């Protein structure tokens, strides 16, 4: 798999046209942070909770995400964003559906990627990272990297078979199917078609759409805290 997720810190350059020609002005880390938080679709409660847990909970696991990133070539901030959306970096997180741990790994996925103890944060993070890398490697949906990344995230949330089936309904050539087309289908799909259960009026299709959007938000915030400018971050959609 191409090392598409690994980024080096490159300063954001603002090009200012002046009478003397082009002047390059570096945007500060503080400016990147302020702009990212102001543009995030998260509400203030969510932003404040993220900042609190980034300070109090995340540092314990930073090295684990770094090692998982090195082993899979998936950018560390993306893995951490997925984990925050899944468990808010709680190693003992579990759901009524039986998924557990930092990356909310199922028993089936744990067996597939060699995770013996799902409540072990290091095993869970590395197992979830390995599974996401496998999904990305096998994913043929989408004409752009952004489409492929978004549909892979949706597959992590909703299951790859469901996303592939939706893409096949749209076109026989799934490489031409965009994330926006998948998203439109997810808005109206019945949970019975996915062999899943809705949470009241909040459908599983809409949950998958929101999942991708929120991972993007958390990824952008993590990148901003790393002083990575928007132009050097991953593009989701």
Taking CA 185 as the corner, what is the angle to CA 179 and CA 188, rounded to the nearest 5 degrees?
145
Letter string b/e over residues 1-19, b meaning 16 or more CB atoms within 10 A of that residue's CB: eeeebebeeebbeeeeeee
Pairing of strands 13-18, 21-26: antiparallel
Copy the structure tokens of residue 19: 């009478």
21, 90 contact by CB (below 8 A): no
86, 212 contact by CB (below 8 A): no
58, 80 contact by CB (below 8 A): yes
**135: how many CB neighbours lie within 10 A of its CB?**
18
Copy the structure tokens of residue 87: 């468990």
170, 181 contact by CB (below 8 A): yes
Annotated catalytic residues are 86
72, 66 contact by CB (below 8 A): no
């Amino acid at each position: 798999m191409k090392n598409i997720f690994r980024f080096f810190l490159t300063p954001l350059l603002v090009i200012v046209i002046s009478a003397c020609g082009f002047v390059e002005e570096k945007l500060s880390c503080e400016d990147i942070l302020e702009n990212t938080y102001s543009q995030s679709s998260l509400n203030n409660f969510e932003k404040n909770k993220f900042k609190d847990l980034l300070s109090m909970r995340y540092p314990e696991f930073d090295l684990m995400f770094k090692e998982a990133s090195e082993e899979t070539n998936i950018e560390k901030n993306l893995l951490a964003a997925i984990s925050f959306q899944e468990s808010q970096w709680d190693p003992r997180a579990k759901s009524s559906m039986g998924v557990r741990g930092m990356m909310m790994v199922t028993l089936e996925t744990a067996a597939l990627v060699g995770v013996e103890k799902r409540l072990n944060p290091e095993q869970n993070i590395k197992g979830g990272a390995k599974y996401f890398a496998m999904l990305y490697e096998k994913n043929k949906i989408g004409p752009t990297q952004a489409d492929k990344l978004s549909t892979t995230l949706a597959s992590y949330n909703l299951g790859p078979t469901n996303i592939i089936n939706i893409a096949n309904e749209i076109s026989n050539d799934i490489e031409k199917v965009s994330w926006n087309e998948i998203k439109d289908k997810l808005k109206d799909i019945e949970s019975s078609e996915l062999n899943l259960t809705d949470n009241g009026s909040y459908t599983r299709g809409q949950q998958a759409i929101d999942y991708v959007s929120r991972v993007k938000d958390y990824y952008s915030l993590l990148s901003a805290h790393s002083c990575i400018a928007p132009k050097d971050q991953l593009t989701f959609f």
